[in-house]
């Protein structure tokens, strides 16, 4: 009987449901641990991704700042006349897109310089034209007193000519008066001859008739 009781007690221990509950609990704990590990891995991956994104953004910002500063340096150096060396170094160090942008900027700067040179030439031409106008105006001002002097010199000559013409007119008048006097003087003896009974061909012809 005691052996039967011992065997029964072992069977009862083996048949207890507590062992299955323990095993289930252990399995659940293992599953939870695995889930936690997976979550930790996912969190680590996310952290790594965030760090990588932040680093990439920081690098991009730094690169943009560096390129922006280099562009400023290139523009200042090109305006001062030393654009060739800086542009060559920048085109070697940059990628193709940036080199094309720099070349387009250089072309724009060259066009602007050409336009400025053309404007300067036009301004110089305008200044030369203004100087020529001023010189012509000065010459005209200088010629005006000369013309006035010539006119003043010509005025006495004209006065002299007028006086000479007046004298000539006076002489002509005198000559006309002398001619008239001579004509009157020639007529006077004929009249005397008529009154005194002198020889007068007109009277002789009348008497003969």
Tens of pLDDT along the chain (209 residues)? 445 555 565 555 555 555 676 777 888 899 999 999 999 999 999 999 999 999 999 999 999 999 988 888 888 777 776 555 555 555 544 455 556 677 788 888 888 889 989 899 999 999 999 999 888 988 888 888 888 888 888 888 888 889 999 999 989 999 988 888 877 766 545 545 444 555 555 555 555 55
32 in any annotated domain = yes
132 in any annotated domain = no
Per-residue tokens: 106: 């250089």
Angle, to 10 degrees, between the axis of helix 96-196 and the axis of helix 83-93?
A: 150
Q: Does 29 lie in the same domain as 98?
A: yes
Q: Which domain holds residue 191?
A: 163-209
16 in any annotated domain = no
46 in any annotated domain = yes
Of 116, 124, 113, nearest to 83 by C-alpha is 113
Our CA angle for 185, 190, 191, nearest 5°, is 90
Query: Residue 86: exposed, middle, or buried by beta-carbon count in 10 A (0-12, 13-18, 19+)?
Result: middle
DSSP one-letter code for 209 = -
Of 62, 112, 106, nearest to 84 by C-alpha is 106
Tally of domains in the chain: 2
148 in any annotated domain = no
Spatial separation of the C-alpha atoms in residues 141 and 131, rounded to whole Å: 15
Residues 6+ apart with CB under 8 A from 9: none
Spatial separation of the C-alpha atoms in residues 21 and 32, rounded to whole Å: 16
141 in any annotated domain = no
14 in any annotated domain = no
144 in any annotated domain = no
Instruction: Report the predicted TM-score, pTM, of the whole model to 2 decimal places.
Output: 0.28
């Amino acid at each position: 009987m005691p052996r039967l009781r011992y065997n029964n007690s072992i069977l009862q221990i083996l048949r207890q449901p507590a062992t299955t509950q323990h095993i289930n609990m252990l399995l659940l704990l293992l599953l939870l641990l695995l889930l936690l590990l997976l979550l930790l891995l996912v969190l680590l991956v996310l952290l790594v991704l965030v760090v990588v994104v932040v680093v990439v953004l920081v690098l991009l910002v730094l690169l943009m700042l560096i390129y922006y500063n280099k562009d400023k340096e290139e523009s200042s150096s090109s305006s001062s006349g030393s654009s060739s060396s800086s542009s060559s170094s920048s085109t070697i160090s940059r990628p193709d897109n940036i080199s094309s942008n720099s070349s387009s900027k250089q072309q724009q700067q060259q066009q602007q310089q050409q336009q400025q040179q053309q404007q300067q030439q036009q301004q110089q031409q305008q200044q030369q034209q203004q100087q020529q106008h001023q010189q012509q105006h000065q010459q005209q001002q200088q010629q005006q007193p000369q013309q006035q002097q010539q006119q003043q010199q010509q005025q006495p000559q004209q006065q002299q000519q007028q006086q000479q013409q007046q004298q000539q007119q006076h002489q002509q008048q005198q000559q006309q008066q002398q001619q008239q006097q001579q004509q009157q003087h020639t007529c006077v003896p004929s009249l005397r001859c008529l009154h005194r009974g002198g020889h007068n061909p007109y009277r002789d012809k009348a008497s003969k008739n």
